[in-house]
Amino acid sequence: LDQAQEYINQAEQLHPSTVCAFLKFKIYLQKKDEETSVTQLQAMTSCHDFTSDFLTLSAHEAIASNALTVAIAALSNLLSLYSCGQVMSTPEVEVIRTLITILSQKSGNEPEILKVTKQARTRMFEVSPEKFLGKGEVGRRERNWFAATSWNIGTRMGTEKKYRLCAEFLQLASDFYGVTMGGDLEDNNAMVCKSLILSVSAMITLEKQDIASALLDSDVKQALKLLDRAGKVLQSISSGPQFGDDPTTIEPSFYFIYTLNAYDLQGRLSDTGHQQLILIKNFASSKMCTSQYLLQIGLNASQGPRANPDVAEYALNTCLSNLLSSVSPDYKTVALVMRKLIGLAGFKKGDADDEAYGMYKQAYQIMVGLKEGEFPSEEAKWLATTAWNRAALPVRLGQIDVAKKWMGIGRELSHNLDEKGKYTGLMEEFLTSFKQKFNDNDDG
């Protein structure tokens, strides 16, 4: 190799050419000197008789030698020539696809893959999808490759909690899936929708993970635009069960994620509380909605700096109705919903006390007739004791009838406790003496 290099150096002194530069490049590759090989690529492009074919050959040689760093450099140099308007023998899309494939062989290259994939998207829209991707079946295959690659990397980045990359790759996926080719029989609307929804989810999750990534107003508006696109697709596609990897249907979970994301983002804008309520009502009336989804929405809306009590109350009440209408109600969830609704009533003005009392009364009616242990014992105990304790304030205020009302429902609830003898007897004894003390009179 050293002797061959010496001959080439002599030839280069007599007749400098790209061929000499290319042969020196091959020698460096054989010596496994990747750094000098990359430098030689630059020398090659400065030769007076240089053509892009030499970079293509260099990339093939580097790939054959498993010198991936050199192959990446050769392909990157080759790509820079396309935007200059030069006539090239290799389609640009093929170069980009090959570059992404090589970059994908090593983990940690995702930021560079993102950069190259964005370049592909830009070029596709600059020169038109058919000119960039190709016509007919060839173009469809290229589009599907870029779309699937962006989707796969994006979802993997989400699994690895790299949410910024996840969001960007999934936006790219939505753009590629959304490209329509001539004679296209494929329906990629569902994948466009899924990509947009998960991209926005990644943005919101990134904000929770990293306070420095808080969404600005402009980010919120942009995310809402993405969800608006997804929402239009949701309206046009009838939801159905997902059979395997059927790309033409959308699972109910995506409707839920869409709703939760839209609710979150709307809450960041001013005067959107009513819009949030309409959003949740629309979801609750759809066939994709479940009690568990409503529970999560209700819990989400009942807490945090952007809580919406109206949404929380509606979601939890609807959830409770759905649960109780079931053939076999999940009483553990029923108890959780009732506890949350009672808590919400405490923050309301006006008839909050009556509303809370109504919830305790409803809880008693639910528990009557149930088998022992069917209703969670700890929740039953919580209902009985908190109802009883609510009598304390009316007593101090001299509101005797109100106090008796709360003691009464507390005692009734205690009948459904596993250890009812312990509580019911004490409550009845106290309530009897309380009535005697106040001669069973009205308040005052």
pLDDT, residue 244, reads 46
The model's confidence at residue 243, banded by pLDDT at 50, 70 and 90, is very low
pLDDT, residue 257, reads 97
pLDDT, residue 238, reads 55
pLDDT of 112 over the 80 cut: yes
Write out the H or E segment, with its range, that includes residue 226: helix 217-236
pLDDT of 13 over the 80 cut: no
For residues 388-401, give the mean pLDDT. 86
DSSP-derived secondary structure letter, 213: G
Angle between helices 291-301 and 309-324 (to 10 degrees): 160
Do residues 58 and 38 touch, judged by C-beta distance below 8 A? Answer: no
Write out the H or E segment, with its range, that includes residue 169: helix 163-177
pLDDT, residue 200, reads 98
Identify the top-confidence range among 79-83, 186-190, 333-337: 333-337
pLDDT of 353 over the 90 cut: no
Q: Which is higher by pLDDT, 426 or 272?
A: 272
**Three-state secondary-structure class, residue 81:** helix
For residues 269-291, give the mean pLDDT. 92
Q: Which is higher by pLDDT, 13 or 31?
A: 31
pLDDT single digits (tens) 35-66: 999 999 998 998 888 899 999 999 999 999 99
pLDDT, residue 218, reads 93
Angle between helices 18-30 and 34-45 (to 10 degrees): 170
Mean pLDDT (the chain, rounded): 88
pLDDT of 156 over the 90 cut: yes
The model's confidence at residue 1, banded by pLDDT at 50, 70 and 90, is low
From CA 7, how far away is CA 13, in angstroms rounded?
A: 10
Which of 63-77, 241-255, 277-291, 300-314 is least confident?
241-255
Identify the top-confidence range among 237-246, 262-271, 394-403: 262-271
Q: What percent of the chain has pLDDT over 90?
A: 58
pLDDT single digits (tens) 174-232: 999 999 887 665 679 999 999 999 999 999 999 988 888 889 999 999 999 999 999 99
pLDDT of 443 over the 50 cut: no
pLDDT, residue 4, reads 64
The model's confidence at residue 442, banded by pLDDT at 50, 70 and 90, is very low
For residues 411-424, give the mean pLDDT. 71
From CA 178, how far away is CA 187, in angstroms rounded?
A: 9
Helices (H), 285-391: 291-301, 309-324, 331-345, 352-367, 377-389
How would CATH label the architecture of 107-206+218-232+252-269?
Alpha Horseshoe (1.25)
Do residues 265 and 282 touch, judged by C-beta distance below 8 A? Answer: no
Tokens found for residue 427: 């409550």
- So where are the chain's domains? 1-90, 107-206+218-232+252-269
pLDDT, residue 345, reads 85
